[in-house]
Amino acid sequence: MKFLQALILMVALSGATQSLAKVEQCRFIDAKPDREACYDRQSKALAAKKAEAAAKQTTADPLERMKQDDEALSRRLRSICRGC
């Protein structure tokens, strides 16, 4: 069991290291156009990841939005008649 946990930890750390190495490689490109193209690719990849995360986040959001709408409606109704 401990071996399995250690193996999972190593795989997770190696994946994180590879992603960090991928980010750092643009610094060492000597040719300016190539380095800028590398940075552009990274920014596009980051934007895609953010868009994917935002899309995943909206799947659980409708319930939260409904609760907020219900609370806003309750506040409006309470403000209409106070003591009727």
**In this predicted structure, what is the pLDDT of residue 33?**
93
On average, the pLDDT of the chain sits at 78
Question: Residues 29, 38: contact at Cβ < 8 Å?
Answer: yes
In which domain, by residue range, is 42 found? 28-79
Q: Is the pLDDT of residue 23 over 70?
A: no
Inside any domain, residue 33:
yes
- Tally of domains in the chain: 1
Tokens of 25: 């490689």
Element (H, E) at 36: helix 32-59
Q: How far apart are CA 24 and CA 1, in angstroms?
A: 35
Inside any domain, residue 17:
no
Inside any domain, residue 4:
no
Inside any domain, residue 47:
yes
Kindly list the distances between the CA atom of residue 67 and the CA atoms of 22, 43, 51, 64, 70, in Å, as whole numbers in the listed order: 42, 36, 25, 5, 5
Q: From its phi and psi, is residue 28 left (phi > 0), alpha (psi between -120 and 50) or beta?
A: alpha
Q: pTM score > 0.85 for this model?
A: no
Q: For 47-71, how does the pLDDT look when each residue is reduced to its tens digit (9 = 90+)?
A: 999 998 887 765 556 788 889 999 9
